[in-house]
Structure 1
Amino acid sequence: MTTPDPVVPAPPISSGDLAWLRERLILDADSAGLLDVAYRTLDTPVGALLLAATTEGLVRVAYLTDGPDDILADLAERVSPRILEAPHRLDAAATQLDEYFRGRRVTFDLALDLRLTTGFRRDVIAHLPDIAYGHTASYAQVAASAGSPRAVRAVGSACAKNPLPVVVPCHRVVRSDGSIGQYVGGIAAKRILLDLETVA
């Protein structure tokens, strides 16, 4: 009876090698057209944000209040399961957001992929960038500009479901009495954003 050769463990992979392999995977997936959704996280004054982009543009900006798993699962279901953490596709978005939070940018110049919003909600989202930096509009005013003056509640719903907060400025929509109203990232985050724009 022969004794089997002892199993020799493979040498450990260095962190540098792992980083290289990961980057190689991302580049290969991207060049082969297999990277449908790239994402990264970004620390900001309103908390950590998850940024996601397709080849068409920025598709999602999400507050990471409960972690990224639910956000990524939703993107996998509604856009594509071919998702990788690939920060390079989001360099421009991260840079512009950083400039915005430093008070050096008042508008965003990014390609947007609006596939996560449809119908009247999409009409509302399309009109939000018309609210200038440092200004606000009421839900009623936004409803009128979107072509449905009585759809004030629907505007609130569209803002709550905005897939691109901060970049598409739903934080600039307030109540008719001037109070700030609700916000997808929480009232504290909305105050920070409005104060940031007022100071500048």
Structure 2
Amino acid sequence: MVNMAARLHQKVGKNNIKDCKQMTAILESPIGAIQVSGCGEGIHSIQLQDNFVPKDRYYGTKLVSIMTRVASFSCELCESQEEMTAPVKHCMTWLQAYFCEPWTSGKLPLPVFHHPIFQQATFTCNVLRTLLNDVKFGEMISYKQLATLAGNSKAVRAVGGAMRSNPVPIIVPCHRVICANGQIGNYMGGRGNHLKQWLLTHEKLLKESRETS
């Protein structure tokens, strides 16, 4: 059973728009500690561990057992939940649903983002929002296909740059972007490829098990 207890501390941070008083919450998840930072306006960042090797990657898991495995994940928020800003609390709820009840995460409203990258009318922002809106749970898309969806089929490298710049992984699902040849490609600069494989397998098996049930 995976313990998903949140440990909180406060810090003061800044972004390029204005000074923000940020709250940072740490969620223990099946892929290790996930750090969520945000202010009262929205989420600034989600940081994943790049040196954590999941004990259960779902590799070789039969579809008949996948629902049992997901059901075994437990979710517990810390006692000081009221200290979290509303956007951070919302983000923690969404992440818990993604791991513990992933078939419900698509029905939940998405957290509001307050990172400067989402406040600018740039191709990077357009790519990230296109990915968020158009590539659903259990789906995958190539860098070139995403470039085309975002309005510039020749901007494949720029799409790769946008993935590296993504401040809120998992919610903006850069793990669903793969190479045209079917290889999963790099994640977190290549340091988190095992995490990318885990996330893709987590979604694939859940999607298939729901379709065949």
Question: Structure 1 residue aligned with 2:34, among 38, 43, 49?
Answer: 49
| 2:198 alignment partner in structure 1 | 192
| 1:105 alignment partner in structure 2 | 104
The answer to whether structure 1 residue 178 and structure 2 residue 182 are counterparts is: yes
Q: Stretches of 4+ moved more than 4 A in 1?
A: none
Largest Rg, 1 or 2: 1
1:96–1:105 contact (8 Å) kept in structure 2: no
| 2:25 alignment partner in structure 1 | 40
Report the count of equivalent residues.
152
Q: 1:178 Cα shift?
A: 0.9
Q: Which runs of 5+ in 2 are unaligned?
A: 1-7, 12-18, 52-81, 207-213
Instruction: Please give the alpha-carbon distance, in whole angstroms, between the structure 1 residues aligned to 2:50 and 2:22.
Output: 21
- Higher strand proportion: 2
Q: Which amino acid aligns with 2:43?
A: L
Provide, for residues 19-62 of structure 1, a one-character-per-residue CA deviation record: whole Å limited to 9, x for no partner. xxx99x99xxxxxxx96211111111222111011222112101
| 2:91 alignment partner in structure 1 | 93
Q: Secondary structure at the match of 1:179?
A: coil
Question: Structure 2 residue aligned with 1:138, among 139, 142, 160?
Answer: 142
Instruction: Please give the alpha-carbon distance, in whole angstroms, between the structure 1 residues aligned to 2:194 and 2:179.
Output: 16
CA RMSD after TM alignment: 2.6
Q: 1:138 Cα shift?
A: 0.3
Q: Which amino acid aligns with 1:111?
A: V
Q: 1:104 Cα shift?
A: 4.0
Instruction: Please give the alpha-carbon distance, in whole angstroms, between the structure 1 residues aligned to 2:164 and 2:149.
Output: 18
Q: 1:87 Cα shift?
A: 5.3
Q: 1:114 Cα shift?
A: 3.8
Q: Which runs of 5+ in 1 are unaligned?
A: 1-21, 27-33, 67-85
Q: 1:101 Cα shift?
A: 0.7
TM-score, normalised via structure 2 length: 0.64
Higher relative contact order (CA 8 A, sep 6+): 2
Instruction: Please give the alpha-carbon distance, in whole angstroms, between the structure 2 residues aligned to 1:105 and 1:43.
Output: 20
2:35–2:46 contact (8 Å) kept in structure 1: yes
Question: Structure 2 residue aligned with 1:123, among 119, 122, 126?
Answer: 126
| 1:30 alignment partner in structure 2 | none
TM-score, normalised via structure 1 length: 0.68
Q: Secondary structure at the match of 2:29?
A: coil
Instruction: Please give the alpha-carbon distance, in whole angstroms, between the structure 2 residues aligned to 1:52 and 1:116.
Output: 15
Instruction: Please give the alpha-carbon distance, in whole angstroms, between the structure 1 residues aligned to 2:83 and 2:141.
Output: 34
